[in-house]
Amino acid sequence: MSTIVLALMTVIFPLNSFLVFPGNWALGKEKEVEVAPIEQVKGVETEKQERISLENVLPVAQYQPVRKEDAGDLVLPEAHASLILDAESGTILHYDNGKQRRQIASLTKMMTAVMVMEKVEDLDEEATIDADTIRTIGTVVGCPNTGICISQRLVAGEKITVRSLLKAMLMNSANDSARALAKHVGGTEKEFVSMMNRKAKEMGLKDTNFCTASGLEPDGREHECYSTAYDIARIAAYALKFPEIWETFKLPGNLEVSSADGKYVHTILNTNRLIGEMPGILGGKTGFTPLAGHSLLMAVQDETKKHTIISVLLDDPYRWEDIKMMASWAFSSHAWK
């Protein structure tokens, strides 16, 4: 069945029979809603249908993924939610609890990076670190794991480039770096988070609400901080328009960045274990809090480098093994036409 026909069915048939996604983001397999199989939409000339697109989110797709007839289903029993998205067309290749609202921890930083890229014209402009930022908990610049420090932390009054803070945030998932970027762009983290949520609404992300720029859940407000595998995949697909984000994701660990005056030097690691191990990786983002569990996002290209998928796992203790399985299944089970 073509993805155009499948997308059109969400319009023709009642809402109680199909879960409707915005635009032409087609549904693969839905476990939350029981969908009766339908082989075709009669009386519709598919070649004359107009493609519905998400303006300013994705370009018009040149290729559409088509599932091979002999392809089996992908089963990830340990993941609480999982989704694979074809980044060009927006077609969902795999779906399991993809619209279930959950805490997403540091996957939040994908939207933080998008906002920085859209609001900061010169990544080499300097941000100033304030005393509140250096009190940020969890992973921070200089301390890749809570309580384990390998280099100088950020210092109150230090001036450091936006580019350096982005590296620390995307590679090492530094929470203080995300907070510093939020204050630099928005004046306050609260205003920056409002900007993030406005952007989410503009993108049609109906199941997302950010609380912080880092993904840390404020005490007593944890229930207010959520997104879905589907929404996060769409943010990542949107972020592909910013090459700097993905170039940063692939930088090797033990990278040093310095304050503007060279007085302080910070060592940054990379949390992505699969860099150099898994072919086709464009980049990925890890996430963990006790509420969110171990989560992971990864963008991967096929061997032709013409097709990119976004894989998202939420609360999966076997995220590294499963993310590799997702890419292998997606490219072996589909042909792009």
Q: Residue ranges per domain, the chain?
A: 1-69+86-98, 105-306
Angle between helices 175-186 and 162-172 (to 10 degrees): 140
Q: What is the pLDDT of residue 69?
A: 94
- Measured distance CA(100)–CA(184) in Å, rounded: 32
Q: What is the mean pLDDT of each run of 10 residues along the chain (337 residues)?
A: 40 31 36 28 26 42 92 97 97 98 98 98 98 96 90 98 98 98 98 98 97 97 97 98 97 95 97 93 96 98 96 98 98 96
Angle between helices 109-119 and 189-202 (to 10 degrees): 90
CATH number of 105-306: 3.40.710.10
Strand-pairing partners, residue 95, are: 83
Q: What is the pLDDT of residue 178?
A: 98
- Measured distance CA(247)–CA(255) in Å, rounded: 14
Q: What is the pLDDT of residue 44?
A: 26
| pTM exceeds 0.85 | no
Q: What is the pLDDT of residue 29?
A: 34
Is 87 within 8 Å of 56 (Cβ atoms)? Answer: no
177's tokens: 């770096």
Q: What is the pLDDT of residue 200?
A: 98
- Coil/strand/helix, residue 140: strand
CB neighbours of residue 64 within 10 Å: 18
